[in-house]
Amino acid sequence: MQDLTVFLEHYKKVIDESLFKEISVRNIEPKLKESMLYSVQAGGKRIRPMLVFATLQALNADPLLGVRTATALEMIHTYSLIHDDLPAMDNDDYRRGKWTNHKIFGDATAILAGDALLTLAFSILAEDENLSFETRLALIKEISFSSGAEGMVGGQQADMEAENKQVTLEELSSIHARKTGELLIFAVTSAAKIAEADPEQTKRLRIFAENIGIGFQISDDILDVIGDETKMGKKTGVDAFLNKSTYPGLLTLDGAKRALNEHMSIAKSALSGHDFDDEILLQLADLIALREN
């Protein structure tokens, strides 16, 4: 059995080095560059890049073919965190146990750092000479959808509008399928495209990704209720303070835990018996479900 810890340590080093290099070599205003590097080097599990690498491995492709895709994806994720933490959004002071970007660099530079990471991500995808022009274009189109108005950004807007309102479970799932799930889906399906997976493999991988996306958000909501702030590196109880609809709020804490297990079970079943080298993907699913931060 392949050791998940060894896999994560190896590819975390790969993605950390790539993030630093892609920003450092660019001709960027010094304070803006410092702000961008501050957030991409703030730590984290790099779940989205790990899903890119693990999916490529599951399809018997070289995980390193996904380095630039994983780097672009993590930049977009980081930009979203910088903007989420701003006073106009979630107004958070800490992220991963450190001051949030705007607390160090000010709101204006934090906004620009997020903008810069988002736009740099598209350049990185376009410049990936390991992939065909057709594949690069397809990935740019897909990540534009996943991160944009019909994906993550639209989900964030819907989430804000749901504050202080009673929403149904279906509505809540729709919000988080976009806000949280779309980038996780892209992580998996982009790797499928790079590896030239067949239609059945791609379908199965998408089912896997959709369910771990919902599972990730359920786990996040549970941790906001019962998580340890020291391990989380940020305040807990924020959802209740903002009167946001959450899975524990709709289903009870025990009900949310059952829903998490159900989605993880569906995700794992999607990979069963379909010629995947899925050891690491399955272990990543467990990491998402059982994480403490």
Domain ranges of the chain: 1-290
CB 115 within 8 A of CB 162: no
In CATH, 1-290 is 1.10.600.10: yes
CA distance 212 to 204: 13
CB 67 within 8 A of CB 16: no
Strands (E), 76-197: 94-95, 98-99
CA distance 243 to 109: 29
Over residues 35-81, the pLDDT tens digits come to 999 999 998 889 999 999 999 999 999 999 999 999 999 999 999 99
CA distance 41 to 20: 8
**pLDDT higher than threshold 70 for residue 240:** no
Averaged over 211-217, what is the pLDDT?
Answer: 95
CB 12 within 8 A of CB 71: no
**pLDDT higher than threshold 80 for residue 234:** no
DSSP state of 158: H
